[in-house]
Amino acid sequence: MKKSCAALAVALVLASCGSRTAPGGAKQMVIGVSLLNLSSEFIVMLNRAMEDKARQLGVRLIVNDAQRSAERQVQQVESFIAQRVDAIILNPCEVEASSPAVDKALAAGIPIVNVNSETRSTPTAFVGSRDEESARLAMDYIARRLNGRGNVVMMHGFMGQAAQLKRDQGAREVLAKYPGLKLLAEQTAEWDRAKAIALMENWLQSHGAAIHAVFAQNDEMAMGAVLALEQARRKDKVIVAGVDAIADALRAVRDGRLDATVFQDAAGQGAGAVETAVKILKKEPYEKQLYLPFQLVTRENVSQYLK
Amino acid sequence: MAFPSSPRWTGQAGLILALVALGGALSLATPNFLTVPNLINLVRQISINGILAVGVTLVLLTGGVDLSLGSLVALSGVAAAHLAQAPGAVAFPALLGMATGAACGALSGLVVTRGGVAPFVVTLGMMTVARGLALVLSGGRPVSNLNPQFTRLGGGDVAGIPLPVLVLAAVAVIAHVFLRHLRFGRYIYAVGGNEKAARASGVDVHGVKLFAYTLCGALAGLAGVVLAARITTGQPNAGVGYELDAIAAAVIGGASLAGGAGGIGGTVLGALLMGVINNGLDLLNVSSYYQQIVKGLIIVGAVWLDRGKEK
């Protein structure tokens, strides 16, 4: 029994070291991809765009899911290096903790492209968006709707994550610009819709009619706030804005339940990352830093974004 | 076979004292705690954890544990959500959700009893498998566009009482009656209290354990259905960590991790205590960093007070 198990294991390992020759005989480029977390809708869209572009360019992707663990991400990159991939695309978990992955890739002479989030270490290239911008757009929208005066509450993502830090920064820049805007309360709902519902319910108890607007750092939490407000029959008096433009949020904007969200071009980022990696490998000119703009989505323009 | 003693109202007294003390302190600290709307929010907020805690109490009583609850919540939610996209569908999605949970629970129970593998390991495996299945079933994206009759289960109310609370109440009452007044309920205590003696007395130990895991899974499925209705979407990454909150509620309520002790009343009180802490800390706008610390200290304190009274 043990011998046949061992034989099976060896056979599987050998089989997985597949041929790297593309049709036509030329050696196919292999890019290792380490993603932050495939149970996030945004990252799923990012991945899909990468795979589409890879198929288009005839490049092979090895996609790993770091499941939010920077440690696992570093291990995955080490594994890519050992497999001698041609390039690596990194969707970093954390600014500091994912930096060793970048360092190791560069030390091994393998080009590495960061997508969507930054690391402290500088990669060969970066394709993404400036998260502060997304928060600035949402908060500016709230400020305009409130005519520069009013009380805002802010729902944070996981404390310490790059997206949370940047969006917090962007939001505070706008708050500083408008002295009539007051940050009444802020708390983390950990990017989670259910936690956001409970948080909004509790805030309504503490502050009630004093809340004029809610800025949630992502759409899941914004939807939670909307649900709680609708249940308390206060949604018509409170403005809610989120970030991400997930399908649920776009529908909610169209139906007038959510006031605004911010579209992050997942498709553009994913495709851009693969394109940049291929350009680097083909020694063609590439942009070291490619920033795709965020776009504010409100009822006026939501039809552009709905599929 | 003597019915193993479990401290009833004397043991619960410490917990009730802790609840009253905490509630009292909060109502002094903020006028927003002891209001009808807030208290309604509070019980609604503990409903899902409460349902999970009742289920896990059954498993804990047999001397086992179930770490897969959070993943079952997600999987059942996703499964139910798929059916709940059809207009008017309520019963089928709910039943499918519970059946999904029950099936996973039964599978865990089978491996624990027939396979002889430790419950910690089995349910840890089920935790990851069920999570993976939830992601596969949903393609990593939330399953949305649920019909309003279904979502009413999570957001609606009857005579001012939120539906999730009614579900929890029904589950708790049925479970309590089952454990205390039916012979099978006594078997559960017997198996957890002294498995060898129970087997020697002719109790079908494997059958009892299998039943406990299956029922726990079914209740996790129900919790998943209620959650999906509440957040109006079936989310594959819902419920992370829910099993720990459920076990904490049960243990605070007097359930022993070694089995044989505990009850539904205590579990519900435990869930209530945890809910009061979360609600209170939010009302007082305590920073989330400190919330974690305070929560841990109060939980340990409540259990300490409770156990101290027993001696």
For chain A, 307 residues long, give each residue's pLDDT as a single digit of tens: 566 666 565 655 555 554 444 454 468 899 999 998 887 778 888 999 999 999 999 999 999 999 888 889 999 999 999 999 999 999 998 888 889 999 999 999 999 999 998 888 999 999 998 889 999 999 999 999 999 999 999 999 988 777 899 999 999 999 999 999 999 999 999 889 999 999 999 999 999 999 999 999 999 999 999 999 999 999 999 999 999 898 899 999 999 999 999 998 999 999 999 999 999 999 999 999 999 999 999 999 999 998 6
Residues of A in contact with B35 (CB under 8 A): 205
Q: Return the residue in B282, B287, B291 with the most chain A beta carbons within 10 A, the one to mutate for interface testing.
A: B282
Count other C-beta atoms under 10 Å from residue A15's C-beta. Answer: 8
Is residue B247 in some structural domain?
Answer: yes
Strand, helix or coil for residue B305: helix
3-state class (DSSP) for residue B32 = coil
Q: Which candidate from B45, B140, B285 shows the least CB-CB separation from A198?
A: B45
Residue B233: its chain A contacts at CB < 8 A?
Answer: 193, 223, 248
Q: Is residue B199 part of a domain?
A: yes
Q: Place B286 in a pLDDT band, splitting at 50, 70 and 90.
A: confident
Residue B281 lies in a domain: yes
| Whether pLDDT at B279 is above 80 | yes
Average pLDDT over residues B198-203: 92
* DSSP-derived secondary structure for A198-246: HHHHHHHHHHGGG--EEEESSHHHHHHHHHHHHHTT-GGG-EEE-SB--
* pLDDT > 80? residue B8: no
Nearest CA in chain A to B226: A194
**Any domain includes B11:** no
pLDDT of the residue at A21: 47
Averaged confidence pLDDT in chain B: 90
CATH number of the domain residue B210 falls in: 1.10.3470
- Lookup: tokens for A143: 């400020």
Higher-pLDDT residue of B176 and B298 is B176
User: Of A54-58, A95-99, B106-110, B231-235, where does mean pLDDT reach its minimum?
Assistant: A95-99
Please give, rounded to a whole number of angstroms, the shortest distance from the CA of A220 to a CA of chain B: 10
Residue-wise pLDDT for B135-169, tens only, equals 999 988 889 889 999 999 998 999 989 999 999 99
pLDDT recorded at residue B7: 47
pLDDT confidence tier of residue B28, bands split at 50, 70 and 90: very high
Q: Spell out the CATH class of A28-129+266-292.
A: alpha beta
- Chain B contact set for A227 (CB, 8 A): 155, 230-232
Burial of A251 (0-12, 13-18, 19+ CB in 10 A): middle
What number of other Cβ atoms are within 10 A of residue B158's Cβ? 9
Residues of A in contact with B285 (CB under 8 A): 185, 187, 206
What are the chain A neighbours of B70 within 8 Å (beta carbons)?
none
> Cα separation of A293 and A264, whole Å?
8
Mean pLDDT of B191-207: 92
Mutate which: A42, A44, A205, vs B, most B CBs within 10 A: A205
Tell me the nearest-neighbour CA distance from A188 into chain B, angstroms. 7
Structural domain that includes position B289: 32-304
B37 in contact with chain A, both atoms CB, cutoff 8 A: yes
Has residue B1 got a pLDDT over 80?
A: no
Is B10 in CB contact (< 8 Å) with chain A? no
Looking at residue A68, what is its pLDDT? 82
Is B309 within a domain?
Answer: no
Measured in angstroms, the CA of B135 and the nearest CA of chain A are apart by 7
Provide, as residue numbers in chain B, all residues whose Cβ is less than 8 Å from the Cβ of A219: none
CATH 3.40.50.2300 segments of chain A:
28-129+266-292, 131-263
Q: What percent of chain B stands above pLDDT 70?
A: 94
B85 touches chain A (CB under 8 A): no
Q: Specify the DSSP class assigned to residue A22.
A: P
| Nearest residue on chain B to A197, alpha-carbon basis | B231
Give the H or E element holding residue B230. Answer: helix B205-231
- Buried-state track B171-191, b at ≥16 Cβ within 10 A, e below 16: bbeebbeebeeeeebbbbbbb
Residue B152 contacts A, CB cutoff 8 Å: no
Q: Span A131-263: which CATH code?
A: 3.40.50.2300
Nearest residue, CB atoms, B231 vs list A199, A201, A227: A227
Residues 6+ apart with CB under 8 A from A163: A117, A131, A157, A217, A218
Question: Chain B: residue nearest A156 by CA?
Answer: B288
CA dihedral A166, A168, A171, A173 (to 10 degrees): -70
Asked if B5 has any chain A CB less than 8 Å from its own CB, the reply is no
User: Which chain A residues are closer than 8 Å to B275 by Cβ?
Assistant: none
- Flag whether residue B35 sits within 8 Å of chain A, measured between CB atoms: yes
Per-residue pLDDT at B249 exceeds 90: yes
How many Cβ contacts (< 8 angstroms) between chains A and B?
Answer: 74
- The residue in chain B having the minimum alpha-carbon distance to the alpha carbon of residue A41 is B141
For residue A157, count CB atoms less than 10 angstroms from its CB and return exposed for 0-12, middle for 13-18, buried for 19 or more: buried
Instruction: Report the residue from B44, B227, B288 with minimal CB separation from A187.
Output: B288
Whole-prediction pTM value?
A: 0.83
Interface test with A, best of B41, B240, B295 (most A CBs within 10 A): B41
Distance CA A183, CA A188 (A): 14
Whether the predicted pLDDT of B10 surpasses 70 = no
Mean pLDDT of B25-44: 92
- The interface predicted TM-score (ipTM) is 0.79
* Residue in chain A nearest B40 by alpha carbon: A201
CB contact under 8 A, B139 and A205: no
Query: CB–CB of B236 and A39 under 8 A?
Result: yes
Task: Give residues with Cβ within 8 angstroms of B291, minimum separation 6.
Answer: B278, B281, B282
pLDDT in tens, B295-311: 888 778 777 766 665 54
Q: Which of B110, B84, B106 is nearest to B95 (CA)?
A: B84
**Letter string b/e over residues A50-78, b meaning 16 or more CB atoms within 10 A of that residue's CB:** bbebbeeeebbbebbbbeebbeebbebbe
- Split into its structural domains, chain B has a count of 1
| Confidence bin at B283 (pLDDT 50/70/90) | confident
**Looking at the DSSP assignment, which residues form a beta bridge with residue A291?**
A128
